[in-house]
Amino acid sequence: MSPSQSDTAFVEFIRVQKSYDGENLVVKDLNLSMPKGEFLTMLGPSGSGKTTCLMMLAGFETATHGEIMLDGQPINNIPPHKRGIGMVFQNYALFPHMTVAENLSFPLEVRKMGKSEREEKVVRALDMVQMGAFGGRRPAQLSGGQQQRIALARALVFEPELVLMDEPLGALDKQLREHMQFEITGIAHNLGITVVYVTHDQTEALTMSDRVAVFDDGRIQQLAPPDELYEQPQNSFVAQFIGENNTLEGVVQSIENGVASVKLDDGEIIDANPVNVSKPGERTKVSIRPERVEFNKARLQEGAHTLKAEVLEFIYMGDVFRTRLRVAGNDNFVVKTRNAPDAVRLKPGEHIEIGWLPKDCRALDA
């Protein structure tokens, strides 16, 4: 499974652009390639063009530029109903005048499938989402979670190889959501289908996906597996958007042996991993995850740079402690420590020194 090789690609966006009004590009130069069987999530803030991409793939919007390929074929000129792509809509779009079974049977009917075969597939699809007993109900007689399952079953019943889901869990409460996340990934892996999943919930994206495409401003900012995305954000947007993050601003002074030394705006100097900076004099945002900050000197590498910090707030969160510090003029510098037996509970007003491993401290674009 090597996503970069385009000859194994199942879904491919090649230099795709999209504009609705002829003035603004909603999608700018999108390149994306997915192998068969991958679960890819498009994650990004509202209005970043995720739904637009999905709609172009499904055929409801046309790309203003570029090519979209499905299984090696360009599909720009294939109408939606011939693409054979399953789709789960945000508001489920279950047909209100049909029963659940009729809803599921609809895609099979339009494919002119025989009655007995249809019934068999409907039953199987309903059983798959554990809704076997609800075939006779109308969508309005189902709860949100149940409707969601039916929408999923309907998108899968005609056995598409590619399924698109646009924020399918957006309307559910947290608990149900987590449960459904688990079920959807389970079903997707069991059936071996390729899934493009849209969400703006990063936890959902991280827990469900093989790879996540982080969208902003019509571009993919980073396309990577969840761990890589979290631990090695490629730019400051991704760093900010995924998980919690501390940012310190400064100027690169030198880059030597893969270590950049950054002079922060209040004059202190720290070491950082140069990800997005190439030469001295560049402005940079240095990003450190809260759980990678260390204030136990003993655990720090020898010769590591340390910074002075003042404790502003201590929050007990059960499994972790969340401590807010003032560091280099930044009042929102957060440190997370595991609630281990030997963990130190800092008190507001205390003055401490903090540090980190240079590789955890990423110098990104400003």
Ligand X SMILES: Nc1ncnc2c1ncn2[C@@H]1O[C@H](COP(=O)(O)OP(=O)(O)OP(=O)(O)O)[C@@H](O)[C@H]1O
Which residues contact ligand X by CB under 6 A?
20-21, 26, 44, 46-52, 200
Q: Which of residues 157-196 bind another protein (CB under 8 A)?
A: 158, 164
Q: Per rule CB under 5 A, is residue 48 in the interface with Mg ion?
A: no
By the 8 A CB rule, do 44 and 201 touch? Answer: no
> CA 137 to CA 312: how far, in whole Å?
56
Burial of 281 (0-12, 13-18, 19+ CB in 10 A): exposed
Q: What secondary structure letter does DSSP report for 150?
A: H
Smallest distance, ligand X to C-beta of residue 53, A: 7
Question: Of 32 and 354, which CB lies nearer to Mg ion in the complex structure?
Answer: 32
Among 89, 99, 203, 232, binds another protein (CB under 8 A): 89
Residue with tokens 């597996």: 225
By the 8 A CB rule, do 318 and 343 touch? Answer: no
Q: Per rule CB under 8 A, is residue 81 in the interface with another protein?
A: yes
Q: Per rule CB under 5 A, is residue 51 in the interface with Mg ion?
A: yes
Pick the stretch among 67-75, 105-113, 126-134, 306-314 that binds another protein (CB under 8 A). 105-113
Burial of 231 (0-12, 13-18, 19+ CB in 10 A): middle
Smallest distance, ligand X to C-beta of residue 216, A: 10
- Count CB neighbours of 260 within 10 A: 28
By the 8 A CB rule, do 58 and 24 touch? Answer: no
Residue positions counted in the chain: 366
Q: Per rule CB under 8 A, is residue 141 in the interface with another protein?
A: no
- The site partner of 20 among ligand X, another protein, Mg ion, none (C-beta below 5 to 8 Å per kind) is ligand X
**For residue 60, what are the contacts with CB-CB under 8 A and spacing of at least 6?**
80
Question: Of 118 and 219, which CB lies nearer to Mg ion in the complex structure?
Answer: 219
Q: Per rule CB under 8 A, is residue 275 in the interface with another protein?
A: no
Smallest distance, ligand X to C-beta of residue 29, A: 15
Interface residues with another protein (CB under 8 A) are 58-60, 79-87, 89, 91, 93, 95-97, 106-107, 110-111, 154-155, 158, 164
